[in-house]
């Protein structure tokens, strides 16, 4: 923690994963940090209204887990103490990808499984324990207020439930973490800063999830995953979560949406490229209804490309980039952005913070965004700007995935990329190219 602060009060709009991570960082630099969320925040780790995606599988990638650990040492232990499950994916995950099963191998990273509400609950407990942070639920931020010169944000207007009006709260710094629906882009346009350039990739994905009772874990089959090989559009995972439960999520690409009725759910599972998930759930006891979620498109807002932007305001989490969830990147990217914010404040203080942060964050967002967008264009129905060389890269990746059926080194290399520990470029190292070219077919 810093001895002298950069400012008096910082405000975070949105108290979900990105907002809570931001609050932890701001607590180092400001005397007081106020987090406002419009939702009612439940006492227990259960799904909440404003975060409907919280009912579906959420994977915290290794790079994200390490970012959480650096901000909250012992975070993994918190999740495990609350019933989360950890294992080496090389041994515990039975993974059908590229038309076959990956070879089993011991890796140097872990998979940490819990529900999305549990990750958020563990995070909120840690942030709530920071002396200069106050989290206030049930209060929506309605507006951002700039200085008369319009060069920076100086306050927010927050709902006041007592008066039924809004209250102005002055702030030396504001983080917008209102999720994908954040109103910052439309506020900027209305306030005369111009349109935010954005990239959109339409994937038309659907999720269907059901919870089952768990009695025991076979550590060689702690989790099962089936990935589609285009033109097949159906994926699924079964993972252990807290409360001795299995979470089963079916995912359909390009409008091939999984159904919400029990017979349809089972039939969809039976139609996957590998039988494991259908065979597993056939014998399990369901303990929830089936819930569904639709995700139309990945959306990246390019704040770093705006010629005018008010200082002392930054945007984080899904509000800046909402990734196709099938790659499980959003929470990890938010954690990387929290480190970007910390580095910006540490090195440059409050000097052109917004500009410097967006530049830095753009670099850390590039890694997950390029993995997701590249993968999205495996499917012919995907719409959007396809980066140059994507088809060639996907043919190479398809071959590499076939190589993973027998080559441990390829499993390690690919695992590091999807866990955001290395960029996709690492898969072009000569030793990996050679092994990939040797792969059958």
Ligand X SMILES: Cc1cc2nc3c(=O)[nH]c(=O)nc-3n(C[C@H](O)[C@H](O)[C@H](O)COP(=O)(O)OP(=O)(O)OC[C@H]3O[C@@H](n4cnc5c(N)ncnc54)[C@H](O)[C@@H]3O)c2cc1C
Contact 224, 64 (CB under 8 A): no
Would you say 117 or 403 has its CB closer to ligand X? 117
**Partners of 96 in beta bridges:** 101, 226
Token pair listed for 170: 């002055």
Q: What residues between 198 and 237 interact with ligand X by CB under 6 A?
A: 207
Concatenating the DSSP letter of every residue in 297-358 gives EEEEE-GGG-S---BTEEE-GGGTEE--GGG--HHHHHHHHHHHHHHHHHHHTTSSHHHHHH
| Phi/psi of residue 217, nearest 5 degrees | -115, 130
| Phi/psi of residue 405, nearest 5 degrees | -70, -20
Pairing mode, if any, of strands 165-170 and 234-241?
unpaired
**What's the length of the chain?**
441
CB 49, min distance to ligand X, A: 8
Contact 155, 145 (CB under 8 A): yes
What is the rounded CA–CA span in Å between residue 312 and residue 8? 13
What is the rounded CA–CA span in Å between residue 432 and residue 177? 39
Residue 80 touching ligand X (CB under 6 A): no
With contacts defined by CB under 6 A, name the span among 48-56, 278-286, 361-369, 377-385 that binds ligand X. 48-56
Contact 114, 86 (CB under 8 A): no
x/- letters, 325..364, toward ligand X (CB under 6 A): x--xxxxx-x------------------------------
CB 14, min distance to ligand X, A: 3
What is the rounded CA–CA span in Å between residue 77 and residue 122? 10
Residue 299 touching ligand X (CB under 6 A): no
N-to-C CA span, the chain: 55
- Which member of 6, 10, 16, 248 binds ligand X (CB under 6 A)? 16
Would you say 230 or 291 has its CB closer to ligand X? 291
Residue 295 touching ligand X (CB under 6 A): yes
CB 249, min distance to ligand X, A: 8
Residue 318 touching ligand X (CB under 6 A): yes
Residue 13 touching ligand X (CB under 6 A): yes
Residue 15 touching ligand X (CB under 6 A): yes
Would you say 145 or 350 has its CB closer to ligand X? 145
- Which member of 6, 10, 12, 18 binds ligand X (CB under 6 A)? 18
Comparing every residue's Cβ against ligand X, the nearest one is 330
What is the rounded CA–CA span in Å between residue 22 and residue 277? 38
x/- letters, 247..286, toward ligand X (CB under 6 A): ----------------------------------------
Residue 17 touching ligand X (CB under 6 A): yes
- Which member of 228, 317, 403, 415 binds ligand X (CB under 6 A)? 317
Residue 393 touching ligand X (CB under 6 A): no
CB 257, min distance to ligand X, A: 12
Residue 37 touching ligand X (CB under 6 A): yes
Cis peptide bond N-terminal to 231, omega within 30: yes
| Phi/psi of residue 351, nearest 5 degrees | -90, 110
Q: What residues between 121 and 180 interact with ligand X by CB under 6 A?
A: 140-141, 177-179
> Where along the sequence are the contacts to ligand X (CB under 6 A)?
13-19, 36-39, 50-51, 53, 56-59, 140-141, 177-179, 207, 293, 295, 317-319, 325, 328-332, 334
């Amino acid at each position: 923690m810093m001895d002298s602060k950069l400012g008096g009060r910082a405000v975070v709009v949105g108290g979900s994963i990105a907002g809570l991570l931001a609050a932890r960082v701001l607590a180092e630099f400001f005397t007081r940090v106020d987090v406002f969320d419009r939702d009612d925040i439940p006492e227990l780790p259960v799904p909440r209204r404003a975060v409907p995606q919280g009912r579906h599988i959420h994977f915290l990638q290794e790079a994200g887990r390490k970012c959480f650990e650096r901000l909250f040492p012992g975070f993994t232990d918190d999740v495990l103490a609350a019933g989360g499950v950890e294992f080496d994916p090389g041994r515990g995950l039975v993974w059908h990808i590229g038309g076959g099963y990956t070879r089993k191998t011991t890796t140097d990273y872990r998979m940490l499984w819990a529900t999305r509400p549990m990750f958020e609950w563990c995070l909120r407990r840690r942030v709530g324990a920071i002396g200069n942070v106050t989290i206030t639920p049930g209060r929506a931020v309605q507006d951002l207020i700039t200085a008369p010169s319009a060069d920076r944000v100086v306050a927010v207007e927050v709902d006041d439930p007592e008066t039924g009006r809004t209250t102005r709260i002055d702030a030396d710094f504001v983080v917008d973490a209102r999720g994908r629906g954040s109103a910052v882009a439309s506020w900027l346009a209305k306030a005369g800063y111009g349109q935010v350039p954005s990239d959109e990739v339409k994937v038309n994905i659907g999720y269907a999830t059901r919870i089952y009772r768990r009695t025991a874990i076979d550590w060689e089959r702690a989790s099962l995953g089936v990935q589609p090989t285009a033109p097949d559009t159906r994926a699924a995972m079964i993972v252990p979560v807290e409360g001795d439960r299995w979470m089963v999520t079916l995912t359909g690409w390009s409008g091939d949406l999984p159904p919400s009725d029990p017979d349809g759910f089972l039939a969809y599972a039976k139609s996957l490229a590998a039988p494991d998930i259908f065979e597993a759930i056939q014998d399990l006891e369901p303990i929830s209804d089936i819930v569904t979620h639709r995700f139309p498109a990945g959306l990246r807002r390019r704040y770093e490309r705006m010629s005018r932007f008010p200082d002392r305001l930054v945007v984080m989490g899904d509000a800046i980039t909402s990734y196709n969830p099938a790659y499980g990147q959003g929470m990890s990217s938010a954690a990387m952005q929290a480190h970007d914010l910390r580095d910006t404040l540490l090195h440059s203080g409050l000097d052109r913070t917004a500009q410097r942060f967006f530049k830095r964050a753009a670099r850390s967002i590039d890694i997950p965004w390029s993995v997701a967008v590249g993968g999205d264009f495996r499917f012919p129905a995907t719409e959007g700007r396809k980066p140059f060389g994507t088809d060639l890269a996907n043919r190479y990746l398809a071959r590499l995935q076939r190589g993973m059926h027998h080559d441990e080194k390829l499993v390690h290399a690919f695992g590091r990329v999807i866990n955001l520990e290395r960029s996709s470029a690492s898969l072009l190292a000569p030793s990996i190219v050679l092994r990939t070219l040797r792969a059958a077919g």
